[in-house]
Amino acid sequence: MDLYPLTNSLRIAAISAAVVFFIGIAAAYYIAKCPRIIKGILDVIFTLPLVLPPTVVGYLLLLVLGPKRPVGAFFLENFDVKLTMQWWSAIFAVTVIVFPLMYRTARGAFENFDENLASAGRTLGLSNTYIFWRIRIPACKQGIIAGVVLSFARALGEYGATSMIAGYTPGKTATVSTAVYNLWRTGNDALALKWVLINIAISAVVLLCINLVEKPYKRRAR
């Protein structure tokens, strides 16, 4: 049994979760401070990938990153780098798909943060950077951790956009999700079922981790 789809899926999910961790936190922090109208507009834009069909997201990415499209052509002509049909091409698709999960959970955590703590820190002469990383982030860590874990789990099972921008090449771009589809399509139901069970097991472990993180927080809240 070739384990490449699993290792490839894990690295794509891990890299995507790391990317949306920083981008999602930054977007959530600054947008939470925006006026209501601007916040509403940006919310719609940033949350749209969550409700759009993944194939639509993949198609839109191809319009930008394809070898004959603006960004894709630029990288191909100047750096001889093709942005599609590589294993790391899936990172673009997965990052866009899972970003709303990280953004929404982080923003909710920031909006529930007690700003009196930040004000107290400023009166003590603490910098905004120190307050953000040493006061705000620790106070909001439950929501942030939940966002990262959910993003990782969703990234691990992404298929639609990934199949469009990275395709399926055994040993090169294959992921668990694309492998399941292609194994089913070729009639190899036994191996497809094995990958399905592996994906279910990993997802169950991820959800268990979320529950383990939430329980200590609920006890402290009581």
Mean pLDDT per segment of 10 residues, for the chain of length 222 residues? Answer: 90 95 92 86 91 93 91 92 93 95 90 88 88 90 88 90 92 92 91 91 83 60 50
pTM here is 0.87
For residue 39, the model assigns a pLDDT of: 87
Query: How far does Cα 204 stand from its chain's mean position?
Result: 18
Q: What b/e string do you get for 63-72 counting C-beta neighbours within 10 Å, with b at 16 or more?
A: eebbeebeeb
For residue 215, the model assigns a pLDDT of: 59
For residue 214, the model assigns a pLDDT of: 64
For residue 128, the model assigns a pLDDT of: 87
Domains and CATH numbers, the chain: 4-221 (1.10.3720.10)
Cα angle value 175/181/186 (rounded, 5°): 120
Q: DSSP class of residue 187?
A: T
For residue 146, the model assigns a pLDDT of: 86
Q: Which helix (H) or strand (E) holds 139?
A: helix 137-139
- Sheet strands (E) in the chain: none
Q: For residues 164 and 62, what is the distance between their CA atoms, to the nearest angstrom?
A: 8
Q: For residues 164 and 61, what is the distance between their CA atoms, to the nearest angstrom?
A: 9
In this structure, are residues 175 and 162 in contact, taking their beta carbons and an 8 Å threshold?
Answer: yes
For residue 112, the model assigns a pLDDT of: 87
Q: What is the CA radius of gyration of the chain?
A: 20
